[in-house]
Chains A and B, each alone.
Chain A
Amino acid sequence: MADQPHKPAIRPLSPFLTVFRWPITMATSIVHRMTGVALAGGTVLLAWWLVASASGPETFDFFNMVVGSTLGQLVLFGFVWSFAFHMVNGIRHLAWDLGYGFSVPTANLTGILVFALSLLLAVGAFALVYLGQGGYYQ
């Protein structure tokens, strides 16, 4: 530095999302937040379903038609997976709060498990319904 007093030093920037490589623990952390925000939208869907049920058959059938459409089913799958992920990863967070599972190999393993299990739960729920095993309260 002392040799080149007139050249401005190239200072390191504070690292952000785009700088890091993505370890699994970072991915679960970010996805936990994203699914949480998505589920805020899910509360509107739930409220709409409740209001549609309270309003009568026409509004209820309209709700069923919208959610039953291809786009509706895609969005619903997003909500179901978000719910599963936020639930499973939330349990992981609560375990951390109690002091368990902090070692790097354990946190990496549980991170992979959270992705796998949440996907399995969401696909499993849709498979059950599409295979005619849903609607057992009828």
Chain B
Amino acid sequence: MSLETPLHKAQGLGSSHSGVRHFWSQRITAVALIPLGIWFAISMLGLAGTGIVPVLIFLSNPLNAVLMGAFVLISLYHMALGIQEVILDYVPHPGFRFFLVFLNYGFSFAVAAASVFALLRIVGTT
């Protein structure tokens, strides 16, 4: 006899209630961040110590703008997943834990919004 309800069985999500979605999202973003991160590092070295003009020329190039946008957004998604894991591991109080998880996603969206707005403005005005 199974103790699982029919709905629970049909969802097939096990005791974590969310299946392996968190795990898979973490790995997929991790793999994507390898080439994007290498591109980012090479780009930052190329812009190290320059004035604003080379930065604007670099970021207004459509390919660079798209890669930078992808790097920022995928990094933030990867970050939100990772920080959530840390919060769930170390914060025992349920209310405070909920608050921090909430804050984590709020922080991610705020940084994402600021970065995308800045990128769009650079592409649109340069």
Interface residues of A, Cβ cutoff 8 Å to B: 33, 36-37, 39-40, 43-44, 46-47, 50-51, 53-57, 60-61, 83, 87, 90-91, 93-94, 97, 125, 128-129, 134-138
Q: Which residues of the other chain, B, contact A125 by a CB distance below 8 angstroms?
A: 41, 45
* B47-59 contact mask (Cβ, 8 Å, vs A): 1 or 0: 1111110111111
Contact between A53 and B56, CB atoms less than 8 A apart: yes
The answer, among A44, A87, A137, for a CB contact under 8 Å with B47, is A137
Residue B122 is within 8 A (CB to CB) of chain A in the complex: yes
Question: Are A40 and B47 interface neighbours, CB within 8 A?
Answer: no
Residues of A close to B50: CB separation below 8 A: 135, 137-138
Interface residues of B (CB under 8 A from A): 27, 30-31, 33-34, 37, 41, 43, 45-52, 54-59, 68, 72, 75-76, 79, 82-83, 86, 107, 111, 114-115, 117-119, 121-122, 125
Contacting residues, chain A, for B27 (C-beta < 8 A): 94, 97
Q: Contacts A57-B52, A128-B45, A135-B48 known; A36 to B114 CB distance under 8 Å? A: no
**B45 contacts A43, CB within 8 Å?**
no
How far does the alpha carbon of A136 sit from the alpha carbon of B111 in the complex, in Å? 28
Q: How far is the CA of A137 from the CA of B49 in the complex (A)?
A: 10
A74 to B46, CA, bound (A): 20
Q: Is the CB of A50 within 8 A of B119?
A: yes
Considering the chains assembled together, what is the distance between the CA atoms of A138 and B37 in angstroms? 21
User: CB < 8 Å: which of B31, B48, B55 contacts A94?
Assistant: B31
Residue pair B122, A129 in contact (C-beta under 8 Å): no
Q: What would 6 more interface pairs be, CB under 8 Å, given A43-B111, A50-B118, A137-B47?
A: A44-B111, A47-B72, A50-B122, A54-B117, A83-B37, A87-B33
CA distance A134 to B44 in the complex (A): 9
Q: Does A134 contact B37, Cβ atoms closer than 8 Å?
A: no
